[in-house]
Structure 1
Amino acid sequence: MKINSIFKKLFLSCSFLIGSLLLAQEKPLIIEELTPELYVHTTYNTFKGTKYSANGMYLITKKGVVLFDTPWDETQYQPILDSIKKRHNLPVIAVFASHSHEDRSGGFAYYNKLGIPTYATKQTNAILKSNNQATSTKEIKLGKTYKIGGEQFVIEYFGEGHTVDNTVVWFPKYRILNGGCLIKSAEAVDLGNVAEANVNAWPNTIDKLMLQHPIIQKVIPGHDNWRLTQHLENTIRLLNKN
């Protein structure tokens, strides 16, 4: 029994040490493949003293790479371009933001200076302008099927939720939804930052989204572990608890 107890303590100590080392070695930018054409990019920042991840996506086309949502960490604005170039030997040719918060459109000023076309809705740009923040150089046409280099995507707006201007990206070929902050992750225990949210309208917005897309192969939430399933279902549960 004593030997088993010793081994148990050693195992727990080693597990804690390995976990600590992995946390210490956490990369500021993580890029993971969903399909050969679609990738998830993850960066980190803090909110009310707690560190969180933020998920965005990018699409590989024959003409170049389309980035959806800028890194949350400003030190990763250039590294994500470098990483994409190194991995795919392609430039980023457009940057779309799903709403006006820093974890989505914070990199506009940087990419505007580089001459990369940036996109946001009229509503998002109005909010950015009112907050003296950089706006996009081009305006998103909601509901339009963008066709670039053999690939397609649609920027959609179903109503208020996390913010008044939150949009999602639908990739019809793959039935993948980039939900942004409108969608909470399956591991979320609350609605997060609701300073600009409309929690009363949010459930109806989700209903409209699900009616438009009854079959979705994969949903990417704006934060936390996107690899899980049941993101939409957990979002609904959290809204019902509110």
Structure 2
Amino acid sequence: MRINRIKNHFFVFLSLCYFSNISAQIKPLKIEKLNNHLYIYQTYNIYNEKEYSANALYLVTKKGVVLFDVPWQKSQYQVLVDSIQQKHSKKVIAVFATHSHEDRAGDLSFFNKKGIKTFATQKTNEYLKNDKRATSNQFIKIGKTYKIGGEKFKIDFVGEGHTKDNIIVWFPDYEVLDGGCLVKSSQADNLGYLGEANIEAWPASINQILEKYPKIKLVIPGHDDWQKQGHLERTLYLLNFSNN
């Protein structure tokens, strides 16, 4: 019995060391300015033993800050909220999730408990509920242009792709498109996680973006490098390669 206890304690110790080492390897949250109101923030996590970045945006309005997706790790939620308060002297007042995965919707209960409005589509909330995760306290209206504190953005669903619930966000005043995980980086060499993807519908969804938003100045992909051009074209290339 004593030997088993020692083995169990040793296993827990090794596990803690292992996960501590992984956490130590992950880069800290990074915030970069796109303009006076729109910022991109990157968080990091390990997938298939490799570190990846997740790109997300936030919008600074007169009423407060609107987040589009949440950090990839829950431990960075408060870090982001505090960073925004320190940087802009404003509180986070709303969160819009672009689909149900951990790097987008994460654990909305953190924000719900703070009295922050959280938004997701009905479909995303269904997935969250099925996963026994916190749902949003507000529903997103697809096609609606939201106006908050002198700023505006449009939520759109152009079709299935990375998931069945992936939405995009268009900032008309800045001609910036938040593609979320529907859009791959121009530096990506694969389509990433495809467990809930619709490969057949994905190309049409990307073409819908090109048709509906011809004046895009900047596209933000869900992961990896975002500063270069050609994200939509690279996504189509990877899809064409995957479908052949």
Q: Same fold (TM over 0.5)?
A: yes
Q: CA deviation at 1:228?
A: 1.4
User: What is the root-mean-square deviation in Å for CA atoms of aligned residues?
Assistant: 1.2
Q: CA deviation at 1:29?
A: 0.3
Q: Is the 8 A contact 1:155 1:167 kept in 2?
A: yes
Spell out structure 1 runs of 4+ moving beyond 2 A.
24-27
Q: Is the 8 A contact 1:77 1:107 kept in 2?
A: no
Aligned counterpart, 2:97? 97
Q: Is the 8 A contact 1:71 1:107 kept in 2?
A: no
Q: Is the 8 A contact 2:154 2:170 kept in 1?
A: yes
Q: CA deviation at 1:227?
A: 1.0
Aligned counterpart, 1:164? 164
Q: CA deviation at 1:107?
A: 3.2
Q: CA deviation at 1:113?
A: 1.3
Aligned counterpart, 1:192? 192
**Number of matched residues?**
219
Aligned counterpart, 1:114? 114
Deviates most, 175-184 or 102-111: 102-111
Q: Is the 8 A contact 2:99 2:105 kept in 1?
A: yes
The 1:25/1:48 distance shift into structure 2, 3 A limit, reads closer
SS at match of 2:110: helix
The 1:45/1:27 distance shift into structure 2, 3 A limit, reads closer
Q: CA deviation at 1:27?
A: 4.1
**Alpha-carbon distance between aligned partners in 2 of 1:177 and 1:62, rounded to the nearest angstrom:** 21
The 1:33/1:25 distance shift into structure 2, 3 A limit, reads farther
Aligned counterpart, 2:226? 226
Q: Is the 8 A contact 1:185 1:223 kept in 2?
A: yes
SS at match of 1:204: helix
1:168-221 Cα deviation digits (max 9, x unpaired): 000000110000000000100010001100000000111111110011000000
> Where does structure 1 lack aligned partners over 5 or more consecutive residues?
1-23
Q: Is the 8 A contact 2:26 2:45 kept in 1?
A: no
TM-score (norm 1): 0.88
Equivalent runs, 1:21-32 vs 2, <5 Å: 27-32=27-32
Q: Is the 8 A contact 1:157 1:167 kept in 2?
A: yes
Aligned counterpart, 1:12? none
Aligned counterpart, 1:151? 151
Q: CA deviation at 1:236?
A: 0.8
Aligned counterpart, 1:19? none
**Alpha-carbon distance between aligned partners in 2 of 1:66 and 1:190, rounded to the nearest angstrom:** 31
**Alpha-carbon distance between aligned partners in 1 of 2:54 and 2:109, rounded to the nearest angstrom:** 19
Equivalent runs, 1:39-58 vs 2, <5 Å: 39-58=39-58
